[in-house]
Structures are given as C-alpha cells and as structure tokens.
Amino acid sequence: MESIYLTIVLAPLAAAAIAGLLGSKIGRAGAHSVTILGVAISFALSLYVLWGLAFGDAEPYNGNVYEWAKIGNVTIAVGFLIDNLTALMMVVVTSVSLAVHVYTIGYMHDDPGYQRFFSYISLFTFSMLMLVMSNNLMQLFFGWEAVGLVSYLLIGFWFKRPSAVFANLKAFLVNRVGDFGFLLGIATLLYFAGSLDYAEIFAQAERIQGETINLWGATAVSALTVACICLFVGAMGKSAQVPLHVWLPDSMEGPTPISALIHAATMVTAGIFMVARMSPLFELSEAALAFVIVIGATTAFFMGLLGLVQQDIKRVVAYSTLSQLGYMTVALGASAYAASIFHLMTHAFFKALLFLAAGSVIIAMHHEQDIRKMGGLRKYLPITYWTFVIGTLALIGFPGFSGFFSKDALIEAVHASSLPGSGYAYWCVLLGVFVTALYSFRLLFVVFHGEERMDHHTKEHLHETPAVVTGPLIALAVPSVIVGWLTIEPILFGGFFEGAIFVRPEHDVLGEVGAEFHGPGAFVAHALTHSVTVYLAAAGALVAWFLYLKRPEIPGQLLERAGALYRLLANKYYFDWINENVIARATRAVGTGLWRVGDQLLIDGLIVNGSARAVGAIASAARRVQSGYLYHYAFAMVIALAALIGWFALRG
C-alpha cells in the first residue's frame, strides 16, 4: 500500500516540477495536461483508498517512509497515517483540486503566467496531501508551512499589483503568528511525550494530562491545556479565526481558482483537520475546548455580519468562508469533531462552487468584481446562475441540500453540549444562520437579479463562460446537493471516524443527536417541525428579498440611520487599522530606535568610535614621548619588561 500513498503525494509534486521548471518547453497545453494528469492520478487513487477503508476490508495504515533525523532517543520520520479521517480529506482535497485545475484552463486563459500557475496549484495539492497524510507533527508542520508558502505565492500571483503583494505578505505574517503558537505546541508535546509521532503522543495523553508547567511564577498550568491551546493558535492562523482572520479577506487578491481551492475548500480547513486529528489531546482539556468554542463562535457570527456590507463579490464569499470556518471550529469545541469534518466536506464542495461561480461572473464581467456594477446577470449566465443558486441554497442550509445536514447536525450538537462556552456558541451559530441567509441572498439578488447596472460595453459582451469553466461548476454542484443526504448517516452516526477521532463518552454530543436520528428523510422532517434554523434561514432570505429586490432604496436609508454600526462593520471592527497603525508601526519605530540609538549612537558612536578617539588622544599624548631617540625606546621597553617579570614573579 505504501507505494500507492507515495504515488498520491508524488504525482502532483512531479507535475508541479515539470510545469514549473520546463514550463517554457512544454507550453501551455503541456503544463495543464501534466498537472491535471498528476492530480487525476491522486484523485483516483485517493478514491480507491477511501473505498477500501469505507467499504472494503482495508485496515488503517501507519508507517514511516524514511527517517528524517534522529536526535538521541527521538526519531523524526516522514510517514503516512491513512485512516478514514485522512482518506476523506484526501478525496476532498484532490477532487476540489481536480475541478479547479480544469477550471483554471478557462479562468487563466489569457494570463502570461499560465504555466507558473499550474505549477503552483499542483505544488499546493502535494503540500496539502503531505499535511493530511502525515503521521507525525514535523511533517504536519512541513505541510502546514508549505501550503502557507504556496498561498503566499498565489495571493501574490499578480505580483505587479501593489494590493496583491501587500496581501500576500500580510497573509504570510499573520499565519506565522499562528505558526509561532503551533511550534510551541509541538515543543510542548515533544517535551512531555518525548516523540513527535501521533500514535506515541496519543498513547501518553492520559499521562500528560497530569503534568503541569509553571508559566507564571508558581502557577501550575496543565501541560495538555498549554499544548492544545498553542496548537489551536496555529489553527487560528491557518483557519482564519478571530483575531488572526485578517489575512483571509485580503487573500482574495489572488486569482479566483485559488480562492476556491486554497482559501475556501482546503488550506483554510487545515486547522480544523488538525484539531480533529488531535482529538485524543483536546478531549482531555476542557479549558482548551472552551477556548476553541468561544473563538469559533465569535468568528462564526461576527465575521458573517461583515459579509453584509461588502461590495466585492469575492469578499462577500470570503467573509462567508470565515463565518463557516467559525462553525466548524465551534463544532470542534463542542467535541463534535465528526460534525466539524462533515461540515468541512460539504463546505468544500459548495464553497468551491460559489467561488468558481463568482469567478465565472468575473470572467463574464471582464474582471469586474464590484457587485454594484452587476445586476440581472441570470439571463446572460444561466448555468452560472443555477449553479450559484445551488451553492447558495447549500450554504444557507436549505432542507435536503448538503449544507443543511452538516450545519443542522452541528447546531444540534452544540445545543446538546454542556461544555463551558457552549451556551454563547449556540446563540452565535443560531443567529449566524439568519445572517448567512441574509448576505447570501443579498449577493444572489444584487448580482443576478434586479436592474442591470453594468456599462454598455460590458453588457454587449456578456455571455456564458466556456465549458471548461461551467463543467467544474456542474461537477461541484452535484455533491453540493447530494453529498449530505448520502453520507450523514455513516459519517456522523455510523462510527465512520472510529479509531481516527476520539471522543470521551461524557462529551459525546453527536451520540445524543444520533439517538434521535432515523434516516436523512426523517432528519429533514424533524428539522421542519422541531427546529428554528430552517425558519431563521428562510427569514434571512425573505429579508434579503425585501431589502434588495422589493425595496432596494431601504438599505441606503438604513446605513444613514445606523452610521456608527455601519462604520464599525465597514472598517471590519478596526482590526486592520490596529495591526497597521499600532503593531506594525510600533515595531518599525522600535527597530529604528534600537538601530539609531542602540547600534549607531551607543555602541558605535560611544564605545567603538569613542574608544578610537580615546586611543587617538592617548596617541597624541604618547607622541610627545616619541622623541625619536633610541635610548628612550629602549628605556621604555626595559621598564615594561621589568614590570612583566615582576608581575609573574609576584604571582608565582
């Protein structure tokens, strides 16, 4: 089996190398053919692996490929852990990646960096696979940073744009703040477990739970809580949780295919995956879980609100992504890891769909992204429109669509949780449903319905995008509708993640939800009769209809009335302002200060050049002694020698 896993990761890497290094020789068609082939191989084999684990008699695999380094008794290896959690992630990553590869042929059609782009996205697929398939923390960190690198390269893909090279630096730095925590988490686990291997660490989880660290004076803190919170800080960076979320909206400066692949479907879910993977540790620390759930809930609700005031089609979807990542994080905090991964999967499909559909709109609009210049597009872009509708319905949780199952199960699980913070989280995710529907339908109505606000020239050239663009939309629309119905039962309530995800019996909220579960049909019926979520979503959609189609003059009036609130939202709660004007500026000021005062004035000016001046002064004094008479020198030497001998004699 090991050779299959190696092929899965190496096929995209080889393709990336070929497209990247030989891009000019193999040409455009060569570049996209080879990378699509590489990802297709990975996808097919990933499906085979998942099939074997889910339906066949394949056993989970845990083995090392090679020894990376051995320090003392600690062996750090590169290896694979392939269980149901990993296999599911592999299929999600490679399937979305494949769709995005095909779509890119259309989206990047005229771009001079065509081959480079394909090379990057294949490299991304490799990195992401390394991340999810790892069996140890070192390799996880490798994948973690490698996807960050590719994200950096792709956000700055159009490197001539100042906004793009600002955004990619910002993304990298904010992620590094997260990685800073992540690395300390890894160091904590190495210290207490003496290994970086998952299996070895998990085997000692109970023991580590009893260990403590003194962080502040004599205050002993649970080592496991420190480890989990540090790891989660890494997840906050990668999965864009408040307050490390600031990079994700700006990452929309990158080409749309990567917004779909990296900044919606896969990379940003790495943090979610990591916490699920580390469930044997998080389960043992309620403090860490409470931290997770509060951060997640805050992100889910407050970032959703920001989606209401955005005017850029991609940024609306980006804030939606932030909010949905918050939902997944809430589920993690509620110990409903399976629900979180389930939502991760459905979200990967429908959010990739929404991004790619948005990209299709952008192509049709000649790279115009301002929704105020759109409107009435549904008659020009029928396929894009209907796939966008499907994505929207899945996102808001329309009964029967994939997002409905994952989100409803998730909310039920949070409701059932009794962990600290779950009460707050429940209200956040519940109100979030209304907000989600409101911004989603706002976007749908403003872009595809109503008055046509684009200029004459654009309107003349409006037509449906080519098949390489619409094909992936249709391909993603299918799972966006059906995957929830088909898989909710095995994934959430069928023990699919048994052995991969660990939940303590007293935290098993999904078990409680599952007790009420009698098939997907009954689940829909139950939601319609016993739950408010569907009605909240409907209310959101209705309000959107009223505000943006029926009475489009009202939003403007509302903004005038609610000036302070609007400014708060329009300025994104002032996170960026604080980062740029306080943190970044203060750091540079400190740097300048230390350099000018510390290095130049004190060390160089006073000590180095000062001592040089002192030497000069002594020398000019000595010049008087320098009489030029030989016997003066001889005399000085004799005295010096005598002094030296005297010193040795007195000592010895």
Give whichever of 213 and 430 is closer to another protein, judged by the CB atom.
213
Give whichever of 80 and 342 is closer to another protein, judged by the CB atom.
80
Amino acid identity at 202: F
Amino acid identity at 293: I
Query: Residues with Cβ < 8 Å from 319, sequence gap 6 or more?
Result: 249, 303, 304, 306, 307, 310, 439
Q: What is the largest CA-CA distance in the chain?
A: 115
Q: Tokens for 14?
A: 């080889």
CB of 433 to another protein, least distance (A): 36
Distance CA 216, CA 221 (A): 9
DSSP structure string for 38-88: HHHHHHHHHHHHHHHHHTS-PPPEEEEEEEEEEETTEEEEEEEEESHHHHH
CB of 190 to another protein, least distance (A): 5
Helical (H) or strand (E) element with 239: none
Query: Residues with Cβ < 8 Å from 326, sequence gap 6 or more?
Result: 241, 242, 296, 297, 298, 299, 300, 301, 303, 304, 428, 432
Residue written as tokens 């918050």? 326
CB of 71 to another protein, least distance (A): 5
Give whichever of 178 and 514 is closer to another protein, judged by the CB atom.
178
CB of 134 to another protein, least distance (A): 11
CB of 10 to another protein, least distance (A): 13
CB of 591 to another protein, least distance (A): 4
Give whichever of 230 and 357 is closer to another protein, judged by the CB atom.
230
Distance CA 126, CA 7 (A): 11
CB of 331 to another protein, least distance (A): 29
Neighbour count for residue 528 (Cβ, 10 Å): 11
CB of 9 to another protein, least distance (A): 13
CB of 224 to another protein, least distance (A): 14
Is 26 in contact with 18 (CB distance < 8 Å)?
yes
Q: For residue 323, which of 341, 303, 293 has the smallest C-alpha distance?
A: 303
Give whichever of 71 and 649 is closer to another protein, judged by the CB atom.
71
Give whichever of 162 and 563 is closer to another protein, judged by the CB atom.
162
Amino acid identity at 506: E
Distance CA 147, CA 9 (A): 14
DSSP structure string for 176-208: HHHHHHHHHHHHHHHHHHS--BHHHHHHTHHHH
Q: For residue 15, which of 132, 117, 131, 133 has the smallest C-alpha distance?
A: 117
Give whichever of 177 and 430 is closer to another protein, judged by the CB atom.
177
Q: Tokens for 58?
A: 């394949």
Is 544 in contact with 437 (CB distance < 8 Å)?
yes
DSSP structure string for 252-302: GGS-HHHHHIIIIISGGGHHHHHHHHTHHHHTT-HHHHHHHHHHHHHHHHH
Give whichever of 478 and 578 is closer to another protein, judged by the CB atom.
578
CB of 73 to another protein, least distance (A): 6
Give whichever of 172 and 398 is closer to another protein, judged by the CB atom.
172
Give whichever of 11 and 316 is closer to another protein, judged by the CB atom.
11
Give whichever of 48 and 166 is closer to another protein, judged by the CB atom.
166
Give whichever of 112 and 505 is closer to another protein, judged by the CB atom.
112
Is 425 in contact with 293 (CB distance < 8 Å)?
yes
- Per DSSP, the three-state class of 221 is strand
Give whichever of 192 and 441 is closer to another protein, judged by the CB atom.
192
Give whichever of 183 and 513 is closer to another protein, judged by the CB atom.
183
CB of 11 to another protein, least distance (A): 18
DSSP structure string for 325-384: HHHHHHHHHTT-HHHHHHHHHHHHHHHHHHHHHHHHHHHHTTS--BGGG---GGGT-HHH
Distance CA 220, CA 213 (A): 5
Neighbour count for residue 452 (Cβ, 10 Å): 14
CB of 515 to another protein, least distance (A): 43
Residue written as tokens 């191989």? 41
CB of 242 to another protein, least distance (A): 18
List residues near another protein by CB under 8 A.
66-74, 138, 141-142, 144-146, 149, 152-153, 156, 159-160, 162, 165-166, 169, 172-173, 176-177, 179-180, 183-184, 186-188, 190-191, 194, 213, 215, 226, 587-588, 590-592, 594-595, 598-599, 603-604, 607-608
Give whichever of 478 and 614 is closer to another protein, judged by the CB atom.
614
CB of 232 to another protein, least distance (A): 16
Give whichever of 68 and 386 is closer to another protein, judged by the CB atom.
68
CB of 423 to another protein, least distance (A): 32
CB of 521 to another protein, least distance (A): 47
Task: Kindly state the DSSP code that residue 452 receives in the 8-state scheme.
Answer: -
Distance (Å) of CA 467 to CA 105, 313, 353, 471, 478: 10, 22, 15, 5, 16
